Amino acid sequence: MPPIDPVQLTADLIRCPSVTPAEGGALILLEKILSQAGFECTRVDRGGISNLFARWGEKGDEKTFGFNGHTDVVPIGDEAAWSHGPFSATVVDGIMYGRGATDMKSGVAAYVAAAIDFVQTTPPKGALILTITGDEEADALDGTTALLDYMDREDEQMSVCLVGEPTCPNEMGEMMKIGRRGSMTAWFEVTGKQGHSAYPHRAKNPLPAMARLMDRLASRELDQGSDHFDASTLAVVTIDTGNPATNVIPASCRATVNTRFNDLHTGESLTDWMQEELDAVSAAFDMPISMKVKVSGESFLTPPGALSDLVAKSVEAETGRKPELSTTGGTSDARFVKNHCPVVEFGLVGKTMHQVDENVPVEQIDQLKNIYTRILTDYFA
C-alpha cells in the first residue's frame, strides 16, 4: 500500500459533511483505508452515533499505543459568510479551508497516515489502537464512552493514549495538554407569586432572591489555582423571567451558571457548596429554589513523566519548540480516556476552530504527521 498523503486525506474527510451527529461518510472512509492497511476495524455504533475502533497487532499486547479523535464537526453557521464552501476543502495560498480543518479532521488524517506508514515500514513489537468517534462536539454520551465500554467488554487495553485535539494557541508546537479542568452547569429556578408591581406586598418577587443567590455564587473565590491548574471560575450565563410586562411581578425566575474547576474540587463538592448557598437564600426569602446539575467532566491530570516527555521530545524535534505542559481550555474526550489509561493531547494550532472560514496551513498537516510518526517510533523503540 502506498504512503497515505495526510493533506489529501484531510481534504477527503472535510468533504464528508459530518455535522454532529451525522456520520457523513467520514468513518466509512477511514474504515476502508485502515482495513486495507491491515487494521482490524469494528464499528461501535450506539444511540444513533457512529464510532470506529481499529487495531493493528494482537489483542492483549503488553505495549499498545492508543489514539483518540473525532470526525464530527460543529454546524457551519451562515454559509454565505464563508469565503469558500465549508465542505469544499479549497486550498488557497497553502491554506486549506473547511469545517473541521483544524478541529479535528486534520489531526485524525495526520495520525492515520502516520500509523499506516509506521506499521508498514517498521512493524512494531506491540499494537496500535485507534478510537474515532462521531460524538465529540455534541453531548458525547455515545461516542468515546461507547468505544471504551466496547473495549472493556472485549478486553481491549491501551497502555497510553494520545488525543489529537488542536492544542496550540498560536504557533505549531507551543503547547500540549496533560489535563483538563472539570466542567459543570447548574440550572436554578426560584418560585414566587405573581402580582401587580404597584402592590408588591401581595406578591412574592423571585428576582431579588435569584439576584442574591447569583451574587453569592459569582462573588465567591473558589481558589487561587493549584500546581498545574489556573484558578477555578464560575460564570453566570443567564438570568431570565420571560416577563415582557413592566407592571407585573413574575411568578418565577431562572438562572444558569457554568463552572470550570481544577483539581482542588469535584463536581460533588461544588454541588454541595451551591446547595448550601441555595438553602440559605431560600430560607432568607422564604421561597423554594430548585437546582439541576450536569457535570460534563471532572478535572484530571496526567502527571508529567514518561508519556509527556515522549510527546514533548517529538514535538521539539520537529518544530524546534518545547511545548508548554498545559491544562487550559475547555473539555475534550480525554476526560473519558483518563479512566482507561494515561492520556495526553497534542495537535494543531486551533485559532480558527468553530469559526467561519476555519482553515489549516497544509504544511502543518505534514508536520503533524511527522510528529506523530516520531512519537510512534520512539515509543516502540
The distance from CA 76 to its chain's CA centroid, rounded to whole angstroms, is 18
Q: How many CB atoms within 10 Å of residue 15?
A: 19
How many helices and strands, by DSSP H and E, does the chain display? 9, 19
Whether residue 118 contacts residue 124, with contact meaning beta carbons closer than 8 Å, is answered with: yes
Q: Which helix (H) or strand (E) holds 195?
A: strand 195-196
- Could you tell me which residues are beta bridge partners of residue 295? 184
Closest CA to 45 of 137, 128, 161, 134: 134
CA dihedral 112, 373, 313, 310 (to 10 degrees): 70
CA dihedral 101, 104, 105, 108 (to 10 degrees): 140
DSSP letters of 25-69?
THHHHHHHHHHHTT-EEEE--BTTB-EEEEEES-TT-SSEEEEEE
Calpha distance 56→63 (Å, rounded): 12
Calpha distance 204→287 (Å, rounded): 8
The distance from CA 261 to its chain's CA centroid, rounded to whole angstroms, is 15
Q: Which residues are catalytic?
A: 72, 136
Q: How many CB atoms within 10 Å of residue 118?
A: 21
Closest CA to 213 of 259, 279, 260: 279
Angle 234-239-242 from CA coordinates, rounded to 5°? 160
Q: Is the peptide bond before 303 cis (omega within 30 degrees of 0)?
A: no
SS3 277: helix
- Could you tell me which residues are beta bridge partners of residue 294? 185
Whether residue 299 contacts residue 179, with contact meaning beta carbons closer than 8 Å, is answered with: yes
**What 8-state DSSP symbol labels residue 97?**
E
